[in-house]
């Protein structure tokens, strides 16, 4: 079977898989708009979006609270899913994740530092610090993970990320506890919260997420070559340095922008790419990053929205933050992956 025949065979299956994933995402968006402290029937949600709200209370809940919250989950979830899939492909490390490898912790530390020490109070002001913190943390983790005769291994990178994350979160807590404004913001970041955000915040961070997403998706063909190994990729004419720099910039923009708004939500970037690979395997697509990256960008907000809606309904009217529930799912998943990699790699 020739290459063109394979592409013709996999194309419809890939489109079907993406379509089903998008349908699931739309269903979760509808649930996010309908359920919470105040339940709104789906028909009333639809009427309100069309400008025919049954009363002012429902109109305010949908437009001022639920719609921005759902849109924020879509944008930041897609960013975290894309960054996780990209990191795993660039490092050929199945344990890579912006939260585990310290990228999220670096961004969070830089944001709290800018708020608590420099007095910066706006997202548009401290987002630059989030980007710088994400970049610095990722460089430090890769440096520590590459020390030693064996060089960089997946488990060493993961352990380096955990160590750097622990140190950064300790410093973040120390700063937050000495400054009321920083503490107030950090309370929501540390849990990974989608609550209490408005449309303006999303609009300000969206350009950075969009640029990061475009850079990540443009890396997809190169990632397929990189998966064959550095030597093979070079023989195919791939410029490894340029690809990795583009990938790091994309991860920094995606993770820094997401963390600046919703906090260090861990495990989204770890769990979702693996789910995408399993679904792609069942669909007969293989490890093609031209499909895996878009699929991760769709499935990640599904996970984040599902966690957010569940957190609203478990103990109403009290909400459990989405980041807590995602960590509850991701923790056992991470342990299972580490066991599969076998600690003998150390």
Alpha-carbon distance of 76 to 308, in angstroms, equals 13
* Banded model confidence at residue 154, pLDDT cuts 50, 70, 90: low
pLDDT score, position 151: 63
Give the mean model confidence (pLDDT) for residues 231-245. 82
pLDDT score, position 70: 94
More confident residue, 102 or 79: 79
Alpha-carbon distance of 127 to 203, in angstroms, equals 13
Alpha-carbon distance of 105 to 169, in angstroms, equals 6
For residue 160, pLDDT beyond 60: yes
Give the mean model confidence (pLDDT) for residues 336-342. 65
Domain ranges of the chain: 76-88+95-345
The per-residue pLDDT of the chain, averaged, comes to: 82
Contact criterion met (CB below 8 Å) for 164 and 102: yes
Q: What is the pLDDT of residues 167-224, one digit of tens each?
A: 998 888 888 788 776 677 666 666 677 877 777 878 888 998 999 999 999 998 888 8
Please name the residues in contact with 102: beta carbons below 8 A apart, sequence gap of 6 or more: 137, 138, 140, 141, 160, 161, 164, 165, 168
pLDDT score, position 5: 39
For residue 8, pLDDT beyond 70: no
Please identify, in words, the CATH class of the domain defined by 76-88+95-345. Answer: mainly alpha
pLDDT score, position 9: 44
Contact criterion met (CB below 8 Å) for 221 and 89: no
φ, ψ dihedrals at 315, nearest 5° = -140, 60
Q: What is the pLDDT of residues 245-258, one digit of tens each?
A: 888 889 888 988 88
pLDDT score, position 115: 80
Please name the residues in contact with 53: beta carbons below 8 A apart, sequence gap of 6 or more: 44, 47, 59, 62
Q: What is this structure's pTM? A: 0.85
Q: What is the pLDDT of residues 103-134, one digit of tens each?
A: 888 888 888 888 878 877 776 777 788 888 88
């Amino acid at each position: 079977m020739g290459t063109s025949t394979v592409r013709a065979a996999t194309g419809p299956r890939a489109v079907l898989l993406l379509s089903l994933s998008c349908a699931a995402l739309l269903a979760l968006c509808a649930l996010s708009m309908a359920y919470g402290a105040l339940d709104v029937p789906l028909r009333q949600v639809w009427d309100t979006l069309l400008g025919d709200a049954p009363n002012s209370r429902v109109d305010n809940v949908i437009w001022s609270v639920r719609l921005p919250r759902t849109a924020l989950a879509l944008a930041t979830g897609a960013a975290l899913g894309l960054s996780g899939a990209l990191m795993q492909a660039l490092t050929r490390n199945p344990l890579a994740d912006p939260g585990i490898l310290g990228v999220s912790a670096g961004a969070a530390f830089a944001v709290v530092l800018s708020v608590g020490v420099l007095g910066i109070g706006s997202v548009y002001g401290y987002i630059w610090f989030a980007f710088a913190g994400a970049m610095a943390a990722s460089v430090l983790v890769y440096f520590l993970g590459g020390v030693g005769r064996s060089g960089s291994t997946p488990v060493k990178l993961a352990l380096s990320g955990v160590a750097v994350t622990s140190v950064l979160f300790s410093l973040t807590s120390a700063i937050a506890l000495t400054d009321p404004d920083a503490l107030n913001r950090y309370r929501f970041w540390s849990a990974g919260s989608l609550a209490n955000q408005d449309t303006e915040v999303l609009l300000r961070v969206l350009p950075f997420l969009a640029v990061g997403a475009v850079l990540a998706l443009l890396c997809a063909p190169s990632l397929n070559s990189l998966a064959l190994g550095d030597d093979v990729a070079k023989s195919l004419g791939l410029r490894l340095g340029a690809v990795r720099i583009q990938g790091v910039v994309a991860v920094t923009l995606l993770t820094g922008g997401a963390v600046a708004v919703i906090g260090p939500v861990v495990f989204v970037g770890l769990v979702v790419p693996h789910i995408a690979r399993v679904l792609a395997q069942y669909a007969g697509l293989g490890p093609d990053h031209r499909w895996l990256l878009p699929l991760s960008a769709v499935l990640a907000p599904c996970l984040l929205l599902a966690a957010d809606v569940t957190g609203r309904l478990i103990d109403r009217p009290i909400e459990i933050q989405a980041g807590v529930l995602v960590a509850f799912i991701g923790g056992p998943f991470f342990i299972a992956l580490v066991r599969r990699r076998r600690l003998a790699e150390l």
